[in-house]
Structure 1
């Protein structure tokens, strides 16, 4: 009799312990699930950040590609006629100001030059695939002549560039070039600005 009573007590205690172990296991499983979800969200965020950074770098390289195209145009034998509609601004023509606005760089229907900017060639990879969502673009503005009263404020703190050239014994015309690319996604706008001297 005593033995059967003790057996019942022990078997009831075992059932109770098995229920507690199940509850603890479920709590641990819930904690692990929350940790895994949090880790996945962090990984996803880091992946988006890296992708955005890569696209920004591609956009910067696309803008540099357009800048090289502008330098090639300026180093040619003869310059095209300066018309603001085609991206060539004379010193008296107001150039675009919102250089990071995608609307400033919108290509005319059918592509090519127009809408106040010029189209650079599309950079391609070794298989001939386009590297950018759209052709990089640029515009060129002639800066005020040497000694001009307005030469003190035409760019990023490099006013009177012509005067500096004259003092150093150089002769030529200084052109402001602004180039833009929207990157591989079309969303990462990057603009760069440079001053190019064309020797007389």
Structure 2
């Protein structure tokens, strides 16, 4: 026999409806949390990509600066060239973060490579070079220079000069930047 009380509509309390609404609420909260997590991860990956591109641009500028130093005939008259500074006159410390340093003749823009006709960087990487002075190799506390008789700068000896290179690159959106500093030695 059937029990008439369990099937009567007046006695049903909506337990199934309440349970399904609670499960739906929990699933909705999990979905929203998952979307926020995915969105955060996407922003982090974008920022990391921006940083890598900025680093690549700064490294490109460093290589260009090294090539520019290699073609110099001599370090005399160094400060007459755009982006080249005599010892002590180039920006240092927090001064390299000043926007004006990376514009005009204060620094040198690098030619930006293209892919399918589109430039890799929205803003060209830039560099500046400071002449530091004579360079010497040091081994421990002793100098690595070797004195040779009858061998002077007229007979083929060279003088090594040191340069400080500061390079700046920006990422794909132009928001992120990386600034690298390198010391370079060349013999004249």
| Pair in the same fold by TM > 0.5 | yes
Structure 2 residue aligned with 1:121: 111
Structure 2 residue aligned with 1:134: 123
Report the secondary structure of 2:181's partner residue.
strand
TM-score by length of 1: 0.75
Unaligned residue ranges in structure 1 (runs of 5+): 109-113, 146-160
Report the secondary structure of 2:179's partner residue.
strand
**Runs of 4+ residues over 4 Å off in structure 1:** none
Whether 1:199 and 2:175 are equivalent positions in the alignment is: no
Contact 2:133 2:163 in 1 (8 A): no
Structure 1 residue aligned with 2:149: none
Whether 1:74 and 2:50 are equivalent positions in the alignment is: no
Report the secondary structure of 1:143's partner residue.
strand
Structure 2 residue aligned with 1:88: 84
1:107 positional shift = 2.3
Larger deviation: 170-179 or 188-197? 170-179
Report the secondary structure of 1:144's partner residue.
strand
Aligned residue-pair number: 173
Whether 1:181 and 2:176 are equivalent positions in the alignment is: no
Structure 2 residue aligned with 1:167: 143
In 2, the alpha carbon distance for the partners of 1:21 and 1:137 equals 67
In 2, the alpha carbon distance for the partners of 1:134 and 1:74 equals 23
Contact 1:95 1:141 in 2 (8 A): no
Change (3 A) 1:67 1:21: same
Q: For residues 37-73 of structure 1, give each alpha carbon's deviation from its aligned partner in whole angstroms, at most 9, with x where no partner exists.
A: 0001001100110111011011101000000100110
In 2, the alpha carbon distance for the partners of 1:77 and 1:52 equals 38
In 2, the alpha carbon distance for the partners of 1:69 and 1:94 equals 18
Report the secondary structure of 1:98's partner residue.
helix
Whether 1:23 and 2:18 are equivalent positions in the alignment is: yes
1:101 positional shift = 2.3
Change (3 A) 1:103 1:10: same
In 2, the alpha carbon distance for the partners of 1:144 and 1:65 equals 24
Q: For residues 121-179 of structure 1, give each alpha carbon's deviation from its aligned partner in whole angstroms, at most 9, with x where no partner exists.
A: 11222x1311112000000001134xxxxxxxxxxxxxxx5363993337310000011
User: Which structure would you say has the larger RCO, counting Cα contacts within 8 Å and 6 or more residues apart?
Assistant: 2
1:23 positional shift = 0.9
Report the secondary structure of 2:122's partner residue.
coil
